[in-house]
Amino acid sequence: MWTKSRIVSVAVFTFSLTSLAHAGEIDVLRGKFGFDWFHDPAKGKCLKITDKLLTEFKSKRYKCDLDVKKNTSTEVGARTCATISQDKEYLIFDTKRQCDDERETQASNE
């Protein structure tokens, strides 16, 4: 028979596994390139996604969409990681060239 405390323990354990799985999925971004498109793209630059930035993305401050979307200015597929407060949003591309092309296109459109 399941006691209330056992049900809560199982729920907490399941949630922990889900959080760890999501955190591990974000590792797919390692080595890719991104920029915060909420700030002036002309002054920005594409950053390589390193362990330091991945740690930020894994924090509770960020929510990432790892599905590749092609709704960018250059129509190249990108993933996103945005702060919960919505003051930053990184567009993340597979290559530096794709990232630079998108940033430059956005800068020329302003």
Mapping DSSP onto H, E and C, the string for the chain reads CCCHHHHHHHHHHHHHHHHHHHHHHHHHHCCCEEEECCCCCCCCCCEECCHHHHHHHHCCCEEEEEEEECCCCCCCCEEEEEECCCCCEEEEECCHHHHHHHHHHHHHHC
pLDDT score of 2 more than 70:
no
pLDDT mean over 64-70: 96
Q: How far apart are alpha carbons 42 and 103 in whole angstroms?
A: 7
Which amino acid, residue 53?
L
91 within 8 A of 32, measured Cβ to Cβ? no
| pTM attached to this predicted model | 0.77
pLDDT digits (tens, 9 = 90+) for 30-61: 999 999 999 988 899 999 999 999 999 999 99
pLDDT score of 14 more than 80:
no
Look at 38 and 15; give whichever has higher pLDDT.
Answer: 38
21-30, 70-79, 100-109: which has the minimum mean pLDDT? Answer: 21-30
Which pLDDT score is estimated for 24?
A: 65
Confidence of residue 23 (pLDDT cuts 50, 70, 90): low
Q: How far apart are alpha carbons 92 and 15 in whole angstroms?
A: 27
